[in-house]
């Protein structure tokens, strides 16, 4: 017979294994996404648009009496995003295809920005008004319930979807709206006269309808090197092991407000061997271009790199010698470190002129969040980080994960 202590140890180990979150690898449910860049006048208002989005994220109210993200009178406009990834999504039966921007910082799905919503036999007008703010713009409209199709035959029935009441173009080419992939908490208050009600997200309904076994989305991006030609992938219900190397390192969602309402985590940031931001809370956002850190951390980063603010672009600029001396920027949580290489810290030089900058300059993608650490959101990790790593957003287990990819250490900029 086994000693009692051994039996207890075995039982506890078994319970621990049973309680551990299960990662679904190689999910067959994928949706390709294509990058779109908005360069209407030949230049990108990168910092202006990013700053508006950051301000909206930091300033959003989450109290139960004032969660509405867009006023009743706001017309349907969306901030002129510098770039975004767009997926083709079908709505209705037969489906009308809409090009929707992928967004991890919002959770509503809506259409009608360019291509009008087409009602079919599956359309149900709930009469409920909806509005969402995004920074320099917002959309307002009506909630319908309809069939939504993702990729090849991945169908969601009775999905709540916003239909814009104003279908004027919102300055982003052929994008027709947004596919929000954030937590359901970000839909709270988006329904008029319903301050505490939420709207089930696309991934929530995929899970509740049994199409996917876990409420999880994996996202694969690629580094930007040109205005066109880069693609990515969404994986629903699990991850795509062909898109990353090694294993995924997960960390629990933060409990610190207001980051807890987003895909928020706790982590520290170090430049070389110097910690510039002690463990604190922040968020992951696929539609913000740059990487924003608290002012005190930004000042340390600027001092350590020797960078100066460029008047033309508003970005930090370094000389060739300073670039050669750049050290890794390390993002660490739960003893897992993801290093942004020197090349990963600079803006793609092939796109310098689109910023209104010099083609020979070297601009950094790290910028000032505009508030000191301790605010509840002390970093905002944007696309220029996510293009170097595979990211996973796991609502079932309340966690976010990252893994390295073949682009993590690539020299693309």
**Is the pLDDT confidence value at 227 over 80?**
no
Specify if 360 maps to a domain: yes
163 falls within a domain: yes
Specify whether 264 is located in the same domain as 200.
no
Whether 247 and 394 map to the same domain: the answer is yes
- Residue partners of 287: CB distance under 8 A and separation at least 6: 53, 81, 84, 101, 102, 103, 104, 105, 382, 383
Residue 258 confidence class, pLDDT cut points 50, 70, 90: very high
Last residue of a domain, one of 212, 234, 261: 212
Domain shared by 259 and 182, yes or no? no
Q: What's the confidence (pLDDT) of residue 61?
A: 60
pLDDT at 39 (0 to 100): 59
pLDDT digits (tens, 9 = 90+) for 113-123: 889 999 999 99
Are 205 and 301 within one domain? no
Q: Tell me: do 66 and 131 sit in the same domain.
A: yes
3 state SS of 111: strand
The proportion of the chain whose per-residue pLDDT surpasses 90, expressed as a percent, equals 56
Does the pLDDT value for residue 276 go beyond 80? yes
The model's confidence at residue 191, banded by pLDDT at 50, 70 and 90, is confident
Q: What is the DSSP string of 255-324?
A: -STTGGGSSEEEEEEEETTEEEEEEEEEEE-TT--SEEE-HHHHHHHHHHHT-EE-TTTSSEEE-HHHHH
Tell which phi-psi region holds residue 132, choosing left (phi > 0), alpha (psi between -120 and 50) or beta.
beta
Domain shared by 149 and 197, yes or no: yes
User: What is the pLDDT, as a whole number, of residue 40?
Assistant: 56
pLDDT digits over 69-85, tens only?
333 333 333 344 556 78
Mean residue pLDDT of the chain comes to: 83
Predicted pLDDT of residue 75: 33
Decide if 85 contacts 286 (C-beta within 8 A). Answer: yes
For the stretch 198-210, pLDDT in tens is: 788 999 999 999 9
Residues 200 and 274 placed together within one structural domain of the fold: no
Same-domain check for residues 278 and 349: yes
- Assess if residue 186 is contained within a domain: yes
Q: What is the Cα–Cα distance from 287 to 230, expressed in whole angstroms?
A: 15
Is the predicted pLDDT of residue 1 greater than 60, yes or no? Answer: no
* Predicted confidence (pLDDT) per residue in 133-190, tens digit: 766 567 788 999 999 998 776 899 999 999 988 544 344 556 888 999 999 888 887 8
Report if residue 9 sits inside a domain: no
**Among 204, 285, 330, 368, which one carries the catalytic annotation?**
285
Q: How confident is the model at residue 257 (pLDDT cuts 50, 70, 90)?
A: very high
What's the rounded mean pLDDT across residues 358-384? 95
- Assigned domain for 125 exists: yes
pLDDT over threshold 60, residue 4: no
211 vs 58, more confident: 211
Q: Could you report the per-residue pLDDT of 5-62, keeping only the tens digit for each?
A: 333 333 333 333 334 466 777 666 788 777 766 655 556 777 887 888 888 788 776 5
CATH of the domain at 362: 2.40.70.10
Is-catalytic flag, 103? Answer: yes
Residue numbers of the domain that contains 66: 60-212
pLDDT at 21 (0 to 100): 66
How many domains, in total, are found in the chain? Answer: 2
Query: Is 285 a residue of the active site?
Result: yes
Q: Assess if residue 31 is contained within a domain.
A: no
* Residues 159 and 267 grouped into a single domain: no
What pLDDT was estimated at residue 55?
Answer: 84
Widest pairwise Cα distance in the chain: 79
Q: Which of these three, 165, 193, 212, is where a domain ends?
A: 212
Cα→Cα distances 341→1, 86, 248, Å? 56, 27, 19
Do residues 205 and 282 both lie within one domain? no
293 and 375 in one domain?
yes
Determine the 3-state secondary structure of 344 from DSSP: helix
Q: Does 176 fall in a domain?
A: yes
Say what the pLDDT of residue 36 is.
67
Per annotation, catalytic residue among 50, 103, 310, 368: 103
Of 66-70, 286-290, 361-365, 395-399, which gets the smallest average pLDDT?
66-70
Do residues 169 and 257 both lie within one domain?
no
Query: Does residue 355 sit within a domain?
Result: yes
Pairing of strands 362-363, 316-318: antiparallel
């Amino acid at each position: 017979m086994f000693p009692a202590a051994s039996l207890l140890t075995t039982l506890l180990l078994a319970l621990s294994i049973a309680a551990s979150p299960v990662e679904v690898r190689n999910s067959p449910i994928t949706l390709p996404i294509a990058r779109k860049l908005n360069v209407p006048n030949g230049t990108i208002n990168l910092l202006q648009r990013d700053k508006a989005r950051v301000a909206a994220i930091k300033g959003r109210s989450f109290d139960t009496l004032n969660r509405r993200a867009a006023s009743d009178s706001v017309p349907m406009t969306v901030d002129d995003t510098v770039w975004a990834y767009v997926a083709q999504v079908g709505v209705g039966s037969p489906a009308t295809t809409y090009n929707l921007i992928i967004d991890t910082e919002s959770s509503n799905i809506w259409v009608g920005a360019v291509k009008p919503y087409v009602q079919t036999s599956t359309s149900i007008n709930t009469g409920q008004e909806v509005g969402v703010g995004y920074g320099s713009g917002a959309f307002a409209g009506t909630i319908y319930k309809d069939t939504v199709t993702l990729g090849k035959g991945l169908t969601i029935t009775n999905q709540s979807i916003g239909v814009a009441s104003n279908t004027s173009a919102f300055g982003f080419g052929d994008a027709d709206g947004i596919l929000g992939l954030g937590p359901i908490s970000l839909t709270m208050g988006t329904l008029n006269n319903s301050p505490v009600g939420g709207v089930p997200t696309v991934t929530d309904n995929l899970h509740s309808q049994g199409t996917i076994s876990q409420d999880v989305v994996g996202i694969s991006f690629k580094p930007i090197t040109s205005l066109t030609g880069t693609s990515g992938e969404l994986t629903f219900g699990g991850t795509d092991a062909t898109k990353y190397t090694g294993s995924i390192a997960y960390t629990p969602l933060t409990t610190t407000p207001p980051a807890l309402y987003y895909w928020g985590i706790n982590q520290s940031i170090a430049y070389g061997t110097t910690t510039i931001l002690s463990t604190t809370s922040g968020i992951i956002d696929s539609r913000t271009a740059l990487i924003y850190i608290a002012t005190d951390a930004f000042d340390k980063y600027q001092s350590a790199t020797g960078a100066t603010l460029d008047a033309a672009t508003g970005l930090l600029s370094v000389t060739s010698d300073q670039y050669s001396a750049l050290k890794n920027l390390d993002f660490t949580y739960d003893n897992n470190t993801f290093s942004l290489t020197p090349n990963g810290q600079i803006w793609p030089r092939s796109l310098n002129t689109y910023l209104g900058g010099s083609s020979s300059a070297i601009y950094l993608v790290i910028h000032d969040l505009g508030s000191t650490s301790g605010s509840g959101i002390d970093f905002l990790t944007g696309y220029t980080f996510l293009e170097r790593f595979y990211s996973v957003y796991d609502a079932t287990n309340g966690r976010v994960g990252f893994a390295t990819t073949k682009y993590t250490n690539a020299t693309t900029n």
